[in-house]
């Protein structure tokens, strides 16, 4: 079911500071413009690598779903990993049939790439927050 690793989500208290780290220390060259995603409670900035992206995420406001994570990890940290799937609804049905908890309402929502996503509960995923994202049409 899972396809390409699309991105690694990295929570940070400051996208601006994280951009300096990835650009000036790690030499990243393809750094997107940060943008707000209030519907998902985050500010986002994608950093491209040859095979996948780093998704820097900062709380949009105090109701952000990553506020709890940053309270436990004030300097930020690796937050989730996102795999692509061909059909998000089929993936949700398969996960539910296997007893995996889909977070939130359980229904796909539009994510930072403009494609539908769901999140699988870490307790069912070996302690890793997994995001599934439907491969945008016309890609690969």
Ligand X SMILES: CC[C@H](C(=O)O)C(=O)SCCNC(=O)CCNC(=O)[C@H](O)C(C)(C)COP(=O)(O)OP(=O)(O)OC[C@H]1O[C@@H](n2cnc3c(N)ncnc32)[C@H](O)[C@@H]1OP(=O)(O)O
Task: Give catalytic residues, as residue numbers.
Answer: 131
Task: Give me the 16-35 binding string for ligand X, x by CB under 6 A, dash otherwise.
Answer: --------------------
* Site for ligand X contains 138 (CB under 6 A): no
Q: Smallest distance from the beta carbon of 74 to ligand X, in angstroms?
A: 14
In contact, 85 and 3? CB cutoff 8 Å: yes
Among the listed ranges 20-28, 45-53, 78-86, 93-101, the one in contact with ligand X (CB under 6 A) is: 78-86
* Site for ligand X contains 129 (CB under 6 A): yes
Q: Is 80 helix (H, G, I), strand (E, B) or coil?
A: strand
Q: Which parts of 4-23 interact with Co ion (CB under 5 A)?
A: 9
| Positions of E strands within 69-114 | 77-85, 109-110
Q: CB under 5 to 8 A by kind: which of Co ion, ligand X, none does 134 bind? A: none
Between CA 59 and CA 109 the distance in angstroms is: 18
Residue nearest to ligand X (CB): 111
Burial readout 87-112 (b: 16 or more C-beta within 10 A, e: otherwise): ebeebbeebeeeebebeeeeebeebb
Between CA 82 and CA 138 the distance in angstroms is: 19
Q: Which positions lie near ligand X, rule CB under 6 A?
A: 9, 37, 40, 42, 55, 57, 65-66, 68-69, 79-80, 82, 103-104, 111-112, 117, 119, 122, 127-129, 131
């Amino acid at each position: 079911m899972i396809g390409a690793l699309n991105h690694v989500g990295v929570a940070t208290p400051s996208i601006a500071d994280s951009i300096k780290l990835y650009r000036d220390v790690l030499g990243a060259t393809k750094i997107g413009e940060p943008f707000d995603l209030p519907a998902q409670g985050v500010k986002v900035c994608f950093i491209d690598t040859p095979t996948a992206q780093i998704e820097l995420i900062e709380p949009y406001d105090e109701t952000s779903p990553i506020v709890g994570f940053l309270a436990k990890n004030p300097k930020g940290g690796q937050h989730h990993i996102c795999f692509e799937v061909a059909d998000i609804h089929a993936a949700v049905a398969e996960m539910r049939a296997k007893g995996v908890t889909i977070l939130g309402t359980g229904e796909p929502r539009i994510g930072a790439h403009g494609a539908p996503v769901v999140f699988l509960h870490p307790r069912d995923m070996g302690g890793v927050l997994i995001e599934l994202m439907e491969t945008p049409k016309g890609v690969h």
